[in-house]
Structure 1
Amino acid sequence: MTEESEPTKDAPAAPPEVTVVRRKRMRLSLVWLVPIAALVVGAVLVVRALTSVGPEITITFRNAEGLEPGRTEVRFKEVVVGKVSRVALSPDRERVRVSVKLDKSVESLAVEDTRFWVVKPRVGLAGVTGLGTLFSGSYIGVDAGVSAESRTHFTGLEAPPLVLRDEPGRIFKLVAKDLGSLDVGSPVYYRRARVGRVVGYALDPAKDTLDVQVLIEAPNEQLVTNRSRFWNASGIDVTLDASGFQINTESLASLIAGGVAFGNAEGEGAAAAAPAESQFELFKTRKAALAPPDGPAQRVRMVFDQAQRGLVVGAPVDMLGLEVGTVRSVKLMHAPGSDRFPVEVTADLYLQRLGSVRSQFKPAAASNKQVDTLFLKQLVDAGMRAQVRTGNLLTGQLYVALDFPQKTTKATLDAEKVPPTLPTIRGTLADLQPQLAEIVARLGRVPFDEIGNDLRATLRSAGAATDGLKETLASANDAIKRLSPDAQRALVDVQKTLVAAQAALANLDRNVTQSSAPLQQNVNQALIEMKRAAQALRVLADYLQRHPDALLRGKPADPDPASLNESGR
């Protein structure tokens, strides 16, 4: 504060003193900018990390082979979508728990039906897979689910799934009596081109059959129609018929891994493509698969009095050379009150294989089985009988023939009995056995001992004659050796003589064949003289025949012509 003073008259009044109050300004040091910036960046990173981290799931495997925390990746369609963060044993120490952190972008994989498995090198019927993991290491594969329910705990697969959910194609079910050499991964062929594979099989205890699932890959699934036939193409199909010896196989791979083939029977029209999960029968052979439909089977019974060694289950039943059925059982029976043991044979007949013969028979009946029974009754009334015949002389296999023999007793078929019993006759082999026994008996009556003694004596005589012949040949050989020098000289002389004779004949040929040759002229003159002499001899012979006394008296003198004239007067 300033002290107040009295103003003077002479001096002017001073202005009032103004008091200035200064406020202190708060300054922020630049040093504080660094931690503030760090906090801002940290907050951004935390927010980004929280928004980018996906869910953490737990997968349980049997073991942790090839899995390493922080290194093993999780891949979906070969794209990394997460990593293994932790591997630990389960509380019961039976399995391992693998913690996996998924990316935020694949949060939808953590749903109910997603499947996980460890990808590593594997060798199977479908080939070798996972070879790339030899260098990059094992990883966890993912098959995305389609469920809407989320899930964080999964049980991993010990092997890759047979079919991925997004794999194009269709799955069909085949019903078979047995699996044969088929296995998971066995190929499926169409016209010997691979179009799919076997993806699974399971037993059906209720039907006592085997259900085989096959995947036909796109776009070949359209080849499977409602009329398609499937058959087991494993191994080699060997056929011996009138055209020769045939061997068929789908491929070399089917010999090792087995296989299934399918096709359509000839003559069948176009058919619609079969939907997924359609069911087909799996036949054992291609021939059985492509055969015309057999229709319902007619079970029949046959009783034979003689033994049937060689007749087995599965043996064919034919009618006039056409196979119409199969033997189902062969049993030994005992006739009550006798010592006979007949053989009961049951068979399934497919009478629709007779074609037009069967279709022409249409009696009024309630069902096809009744029609078949009445048809069989008509055939039996016409003389049809069942007979066991030899199918192969080498193996002794038998078959049942339905034939119409000329001489047979009258029989009938009871259509009300189930199954109906067909009348039978003795087989050709049974008729042949007595004939063979008679031949053996005749052979037993042949005096083989006497024939052997005579043959032995004959052989001794022949041996003695052979010894004498050997001595004669030896003597002749010695004589030939002694005469050899003389014989050689004689041969030389003979050869010279033949050469000279050949030259003489050639000279004679030249002299005779040439008309101007002296010899030819002399021969002609000699022939003329010989002709004249022959004529003179003929005249002399005639004269002597008339005058035989001329040989004693001679020829009289010729008379004087003048005297002949006078006597004539």
Structure 2
Amino acid sequence: MSEPSRAERKPQRSLSPIWIVPLVAILIGIWMIYDNFSKLGPSITLITDNAEGIEAGKTLIKTRNVEVGRVEKVNLSDNLQHAVITARMSPQAEDMLNADTRFWVVKPRIGREGISGLNTVLSGAYIQLLPGSSEEGNRRFEMLDQPPVAPPDAAGIRINLISQAGNAISAGDPVSYQGFTVGRVEHSEFDTEQREMKLRLYIQAPYDSLITTNTRFWSSAGVDMRLDSRGIRVKVGSLESLVGGGITFGVPDNTPMGSKANANATYTLFADEESANEGSFEQYLEYVLLVDDTVRGLQPGAPVEYRGVRIGTVVRVPWNFTAPQPNSLNRFAIPVLIRIEPQRFDNSTQTIDVDEWYARMERMFGHGLRASLKAGNLLTGALFVDLNFHKDVPPFTALSFVDTQVFPTTTGGFAQIEQKVSNLLDKFNNLKIEPVVDNLNKTLAATQQTMEKVNHIAASVDKLLADPATGELPASVNQTLRQLNDALEGFSPDSEGYNELTKSLARFEKLMADMQPVLRTLNDQPNALIFDREPTQDPQPKAAR
């Protein structure tokens, strides 16, 4: 019988080889999680008023048509006023996210420049990213409603405009120079406190060199039609400005170009080109006209001219109408505020001595310089202020109205015509009409007698024409003419009468030739027919001396 076997105790391994597989799987999973998180870009938040066309998990974020992110969530804000979009960006886009970065939705749009975004009709809308140049990082952005005019670092210049004319200028409107588009309006905002429109313009390079310190800006309406004292004026802009308006700039005539403008410089936006040119005359003399005539047709901005040359502008009609007038005036005149602009004389922007010009004008007042209203256009009834020297005017006396010097005036225009018509009527009243009427009656009586004689002669002529003999007269005249014609035909070169006449004339000519000696003898000796002719002596030649 064999001996029973005894169990032996042996040490067992602490880790089985089978655990290597899950361990490797865990390590691979950790590595994959790390790799996934390491490749994840930053998460950003986009705020927009409308999330039309944006879908979570589908809408892409692109820059230069390269995908750099994707929309993860689209939610409403807590106050339900905005849409909040959460997007995951790629790691390479992290350097693009700064304070100047801009986002907007690319979708089909119809604007002044045409149709854009048609490629999104099939692929769907996407979010466009425009990198900024700021060094300040940012993860929360407000999306733009419209694509920006130019990148923040685009070559060119950005300037500001201030307008109080209520021009309907909006972002995207063109900025043109001599009809060529050189920039766009980037931003427009109305300041309720200052009650003025603030615009920001971008002028692209190389046209930014056109912006100088003397540049003037004005609104360019599609069609500008005016009826004023200079007639009818019509200006038609480009097709783009005709549809939506825009801004035009330039330097006034005979004005230096000036130095190049600095970035973010501020300019004034004028209503039109004429107002922009007027704005260059910054130094002027202010006067007030106390007009006795009607001011209907005189508008602010009307010219002040001296013998056809514009030297100023009408500012306000009427001006301080209820203010007390000078005591020396016993009338109730219409005050009109005007400006005399000496810079117009040589179209310069140089500084003038205003006091010296006031003294010069006062000396001209003493020599008869007066202002009057004249009609500039009979069609529109527009008036302008005309300055000229007049004789036989009352002496000039310096007056002031509301602390403004009074420019002496005289009646003009229709008032002068009315005065001339009144003088003409007075002359007619002073004429002695009775002698003229008596002479006129005599003339009429003589004329009546003459007309009676004319009527009598006309009756005699009618009676003569009605006589049958008068009716036969044309036939008798025709018969006489035919007989005369027949008689003349008898003397034609081929007729017998003509030949006989020719022969008779030849015989008569021969007879006259034969009669020549007889006639000569009778001429020398009339009694030769009775007595013989005296013999003649032979001629003796004269002896030589």
**1:523 equivalenced with 2:505 (yes/no):** yes
Measured in 2, the distance between the counterparts of 1:500 and 1:181 equals 102
Amino acid at match of 1:233: S
Matches within 5 A, 1:9-408: 38-148=25-135, 150-180=137-167, 182-203=169-190, 209-236=196-223, 249-265=236-252, 271-286=258-273, 289=276, 293-331=280-318, 340-355=331-346, 368-408=353-393
Q: Is the 8 A contact 2:222 2:238 kept in 1?
A: no
Q: Which residue identity does 1:77 align to in structure 2? A: R
Per the TM alignment, residue 92 of structure 1 is displaced from its structure 2 partner at its CA by 3.7
Alignment TM-score, normalising by the size of structure 1: 0.69
Q: Map Cα deviations across residues 175-234 of structure 1 (whole Å, 9 max, x no partner).
A: 334254543222222343221112223345676543332211122212322333333333
Amino acid at match of 1:218: A
- Which of the pair has more CA radius of gyration? 1
Provide the TM-score with structure 2 as the length reference: 0.72
The offset of 1:67, in angstroms, is: 0.9
**1:367-400 CA deviation, whole Å, 9 max, x = no partner?**
9443332222122122211111121122222111
Q: In structure 2, what residue type is equivalent to 1:156?
A: M
Q: Amino acid of the residue matched to residue 362 of structure 2?
A: K
Q: Following the alignment from structure 2 to structure 1, what is the Cα–Cα distance between the partners of residues 74 and 245?
A: 40
**What RMSD over aligned residues (CA atoms) do the two structures have, in Å?**
5.4
SS in 2 for 1:254: helix
Structure 1 Cα separation of the partners of residues 255 and 383 of structure 2: 35
Q: Relative to structure 1, is the Cα distance of residues 26 and 293 closer, same or farther in structure 2, using a 3 angstrom cutoff?
A: closer
Deviation at 1:411, TM superposition (A): 0.7
- How high is the sequence identity, in percent, across the aligned residues? 28
Deviation at 1:304, TM superposition (A): 1.9
Structure 2: how far apart are the matches of 1:358 and 1:50? 68
CA contact (8 A) 2:149 2:184 kept: no
Q: Using the alignment, how far apart are the partners of 2:109 and 2:483 within structure 1?
A: 98
Tell me if structure 2 keeps the 8 A contact 1:201–1:212.
Answer: yes
Rate the CA distance shift 1:227–1:93 in 2: closer, same or farther, 3 A.
Answer: closer
**2-structure distance, mates of 1:415, 1:437:** 33
For 1:56 and 1:342, locate their aligned partners in 2 and report how far apart those are by CA, in whole Å: 75
8 Å CA contact 1:385–1:403 kept in 2: the answer is yes
Residue identity matched to 2:249: F
Unaligned runs of 5+ in 1: 4-20, 448-453, 477-481, 541-545, 547-554, 562-569
1:374 aligned counterpart, secondary structure: helix
Partners of 1:237 and 1:249 within 8 A in 2: yes
Secondary structure of residue in 2 paired with 1:420:
strand
Q: What is the 5 A alignment of 1:428-443?
A: 428-436=413-421
- Displacement of 1:352 after TM fit? 2.8
What is the distance in 1 between the residues matched to 2:260 and 2:494?
104
Is the CA contact (8 Å cut-off) linking 2:300 and 2:315 kept in structure 1? yes
Residue-by-residue CA offset, 1:98-152 (whole Å, 9 max, x unaligned): 2211112212344445332222122233443322222221111223345555544
Pick 1 or 2: higher relative contact order, CA cutoff 8 A, min separation 6.
2
